[in-house]
Amino acid sequence: MQDYVLGVMEMRFAQLIWRLAPVTTAELVKQCGAEFGWKRTTTYTMLKRLCQRNIFQNEGGTVTALVSEEQFHGKQSEKFVEDTFGGSLPAFIAAFTKCRGLSECEAQEIQRLIDESRERSRNADSGI
């Protein structure tokens, strides 16, 4: 799970790749120069790090995502809940809502997600 912990600049770089992918390394170098003021070597060093973590791949000069941004954030969230709340999603939600509360719109959206998750579980259990 350590692979899903990124520093601030690694995260900004990853978001740039997700936004552009698939992207050539030449275009990525150009975009990183414009957005971050990076030189080619810095871009390649950062790319190598994220490729070693199996988040992206660079094949034939084209960078693609091995993990979508949504999957990445999901893994980060799982790790946070596991590390902080012993893996208990209800404990996380209880702590979150105790401090902040939920709007009616947020409560409806969470209920929709729960209903979808239940439906997926039922379908998986019945082999659909």
At 128 the pLDDT is 66
Q: What is the dihedral of CA 2, 32, 69, 84, to 10 degrees?
A: 40
CB contact at 8 A, 25 and 60: no
Number of domains observed in the structure of the chain: 2
Residue keyed to tokens 């979508």: 68
pLDDT in tens, the chain (128 residues): 456 789 999 999 999 999 999 999 999 999 999 999 999 999 999 999 999 999 999 999 999 999 999 999 999 999 999 999 999 999 999 998 898 888 999 999 999 999 999 999 988 887 76
Same domain, 57 and 78: no
CB contact at 8 A, 57 and 64: yes
In angstroms and rounded to an integer, the radius of gyration of the C-alpha atoms of the chain is 19
Same domain, 60 and 90: no
- Of 126, 21, 27, 103, nearest in space to 67 by CA: 21
Same domain, 14 and 62: yes
Taking the C-alpha atoms of residue 113 and residue 95, their distance in angstroms, rounded to an integer, is 19
Question: Global pTM?
Answer: 0.78
Same domain, 49 and 75: no
Both tokens of residue 126?
């019945």
Same domain, 26 and 48: yes
Taking the C-alpha atoms of residue 91 and residue 103, their distance in angstroms, rounded to an integer, is 19
Same domain, 82 and 39: no
**Domain ranges, residue 98:** 70-126
